[in-house]
Amino acid sequence: MTGFLLPMCCIIITNMNTPTSKKDNAVLDKKTSPLSHPWEKYLPSKRIRIVLIVIIVLLVLYGLKNPATRLFQKIFVKATDTLVTIPTPQVEKPSTILSTDKDSDGDGLADWQEVLIGTDPNIANSQAEIPDSVRDLVVNTTKGVITTEDKLALNVYHRLQTDPKGTNITEAIQAATTKEILDLADSLDEQLTTYTYDDLDIVDDDNSSRTTYKNSINSFNTSLRLNDSLVKDIYNAMFTGERSVSISTFQVSLKQATIRLLAMPVPLRLADQHLTLVNAIVHINEILGSKEASSSDGSILYASFLVFQKNFNLATQMTDSIIQLLK
């Protein structure tokens, strides 16, 4: 019995190890292949899948295009701005303060501080009248708490009490607020860099110098023009404090224009207009890049915009005036 079982086991083992035929393999592959699954017929072809992948990659790259471009522009503008250096004025300008911090009577307390404690900003008070303890209290406790907008409101209140304008309270408030805002804008403008005749290359007024100057100023006039997109960015920056790359690029152009204007030989009879133009361009550049133009204080932002508008109008007027005089 044992002799019979042993050959049978060998036959079974041999059959198990015998490879299947090609036909059997094909049948087996067909049964286990993914192509045999029911959902396979709903998938797109291989070519369509490749096209879809390419489209997705392109969409991703397109989405990254603008952020990458803006980053590159910021780096480029920053590097360019660092390389462009404007000469400093030969005559140093005395430092000034904002109108909201003025001390009309010179007693050591700003007008708004005197309004706050109930004294007259136009009449100097002695140490006996306002002790050091009161002075320290009004100076130290308000530091970092009172904003420029608060100071302006206190000055408006004082103006309403002492010099009201208009026929009713509404007109009086409007007049007082307008005056304080304009004073604030003027004081901001006065803090900006200002050049004098000592900084100009003034030459004799003759045909040759006028021709050379005319060619230079015509080229400059073209570079000063603003497109609608830049105007929109500037308005947005002045009223929200948010800056764009286009403004930084414009500032680089303004710095380059300032260097050209300061190096330009100027005929004597055009020196006044040229100096006004130089300072207007410098003030536009500085107010756009100032901390005031990025302030969260509404009164400072609005005053900064007035400074920009004033100097841009002045630059345009001076350029037109110079061109007319050269005709």
User: Mind listing the pLDDT tens digit for each residue in 31-90?
Assistant: 444 445 555 555 556 666 676 777 777 777 666 655 544 444 444 444 444 556 788 888
Burial class (CB in 10 A: 0-12, 13-18, 19+), 103: middle
Q: CA–CA separation, 246 vs 70, rounded Å?
A: 10
Residue 314, domain member (yes or no): yes
Examine the domain organization and report whether 164 and 224 are in the same domain.
no
pLDDT tens digits, residue range 295-320? 777 888 889 899 999 999 999 899 88
pLDDT value for 94: 83
Q: CA–CA separation, 30 vs 36, rounded Å?
A: 7
Burial class (CB in 10 A: 0-12, 13-18, 19+), 152: buried
pLDDT value for 49: 66
Residue 288, domain member (yes or no): yes
Examine the domain organization and report whether 217 and 119 are in the same domain.
no
pLDDT value for 203: 95
Examine the domain organization and report whether 213 and 141 are in the same domain.
no
Examine the domain organization and report whether 162 and 275 are in the same domain.
no
Q: CA–CA separation, 293 vs 301, rounded Å?
A: 6
User: By mean pLDDT, which of 75-84, 91-100, 115-124, 163-172 is the weakest?
Assistant: 75-84
Residue 36, domain member (yes or no): no
Does 236 or 152 have the greater pLDDT score?
A: 152
User: By mean pLDDT, which of 120-124, 211-215, 294-298 is the weakest?
Assistant: 294-298
**CA dist list (Å): 281 to 16, 81, 91, 238, 252:** 95, 16, 18, 17, 12
Radius of gyration from C-alpha coordinates of the chain: 38
* Domains: count for the chain: 2
Domain stops at, among 190, 206, 236:
190
* Over residues 162-168, mean pLDDT: 86
pLDDT value for 327: 81
- Containing structural domain, residue 186: 99-190
